[in-house]
Amino acid sequence: MNRREVVYSPEVEDDLTQLFDYIAGWSNDQTALNYISRIEAFCDGLDLASERGTLRNDIRAGLRIVGFE
């Protein structure tokens, strides 16, 4: 299998920051950090077998949807 580079767009970085702030506001910084770390580990794991999930060309060409936790 070929590996692909996982690249985070600036929009994703902003989303993760906002999600961290939201979770930290309801619980604490450590809980938020743990959750964001799990998301990043999951996304980084898409470097191998990146064509998993449901293809959604109706939204955008090549887009795939996968569940997280």
26-62 pLDDT tens trace: 999 999 999 999 999 999 998 987 788 899 999 999 8
What the block records as the tokens of 50 is: 């990146």
1-28 pLDDT tens trace: 678 899 999 999 999 999 999 999 999 9
What is the residue range of 16's domain?
10-65
5 within some domain: no
32 within some domain: yes
Number of structural domains the chain divides into: 1
Residue 67's pLDDT is: 93
20 within some domain: yes
Strand ranges in 1-69 using DSSP code E only, listed in sequence order? 54-55, 64-65
Residue 48, phi then psi, degrees to nearest 5: -115, 135
41 within some domain: yes
**Cα 26 from Cα 28, distance rounded (Å):** 7
1 within some domain: no
**Cα 37 from Cα 29, distance rounded (Å):** 12
